[in-house]
Structure 1
Amino acid sequence: MSAVTTAVLNAASDSEGYHAPGPASFDLPPVFSIGDFGVTKPMLLLVLSVPLIVGFFWAASKNKAVVPGKLQFAGEYVYGFVRNGVARDSIGSHDFMKFVPLLFSLFTFILVNNYFGLIPFLQFPSFSRFSFVLPLAALVWLVFNGVGVAKHGFLGYLKHVTVPGGISGPILVLIIPLEFLSTVLVRPVTLALRLFANLFAGHLLLILFATGAAYLILDSGNPWYIPVGALSFVLGIAVSFLELLVLFLQAYVFTLLTAMYIGGALADEH
């Protein structure tokens, strides 16, 4: 049962009044356990996303044709969007191709898991769990720092990311630690927080409108609240349509920033 459905039923049947949703609404019990290890719904969704992505692009490329069908066109459009609109524009035409598989995998993986939050009976965006976002951010951190060290050498890369071009003198005492902190240490944290916070807040808002509508219409005991509950239900639908855009943008922004970080690490000048 989805987090939204569970919360709606709890709110509608609570005799003590309405309880606003919060972080506890994301605390789903294990679907099943393997020994002492509980397998939760978000874990299953992450696993489910992989065969869905692989299956879609396998089907899209199975019967390749010069004049593509709808499925092939959709697959090529997504690939071309990441290849040309993200990788080439951010990394540069010389080095971008070697990073396209990574960026394409990140974009499709995040996108599918984001849209799980709007699919009936699934209705849980996997990356509203911070522990699921951190490994992606750590992977990005390893990649862009790794390619920077590989190109410039360890000390050369440190200079590359901490000493802006054209700046010299005593001001570097302040600039170097700030640049090191923001570029090397803070980037993965902000990358993870941006994705997590948007998905967490969006899903929490959907739960709020759904549970509020259920309580006002079914359990408040006051008929004057019914129109307000209906309005809350309509607003929940409107927020769902807004989430369609937000979920795409979060996958795009994460992938775009990854490409920009790689491009910056490979650049000859800071």
Structure 2
Amino acid sequence: MDKTVASAAEAVADIADGSSLAVGGFGMSGVPTVLIAALIDQGATDLEVISNNLGVDGFGLGTLLSAGRIRRTIGSYVGNNKEFARQYLAGELELELTPQGTLAERLRAGGTGIPAFYTPAGVGTLVAEGGLPWRYNSDGSVAVMSPEKEVREFDGVRYILERALAPSFGLVHAWKGDRHGNLVYRHAARNFNPDCAAAGRVTIAQVEHLVEPGEIDPDHVHTHGIHVQRVLHVPDVEKPVEFRTVSS
């Protein structure tokens, strides 16, 4: 039952070229930076990354993106990352832009075994009707467009069908975890991490504080160990501030 690994390199060793990854974090909060850095060193490429955003230039998923290792991404936010925008518009990166709540629910559904669900988000837009540019050609023309989605009416309201996401791996950051993989997130770092942890077929968690089984009150557990296969202790992980403001 001890799921701890000795190093970040060991934790990500079996992530192969072309793998799909759900990666927790929102901006610079709750990002599994140590695991991402180890993945860069490991060399896996042609990856499909599912995350709210691809970090910022020079941090988190932004480093994996700059290294040219991401082929496709499913996310809800492009801003604050110039390289993300450049690769997308240049036809180097495929982007499935998804409403933020829908993205969270697609991950949650994948973690609970629900294959698809209906939502009103996106009805009457290109999200439902298709035609969103997923990938551009180098000349700026559209190479791949989003498909039309099924629309049904329930009690007079129209909904679109969205498919669940169940990637091969989940990479998450937790404030505290035990050797059985039970995790606790802190404040804003909770964000997408619980959904990514549940959705991944193999979930790898980096934790700031590693404790023994039984030391976490069961009522305080956010992600249960059944969803987590590997735990890496990262006691001195960097946690930068995205926008630092001061008052005079």
Give the alignment's TM-score, normalised by structure 2. 0.23
Structure of higher CA gyration radius:
1
Q: Which has the higher helix share?
A: 1
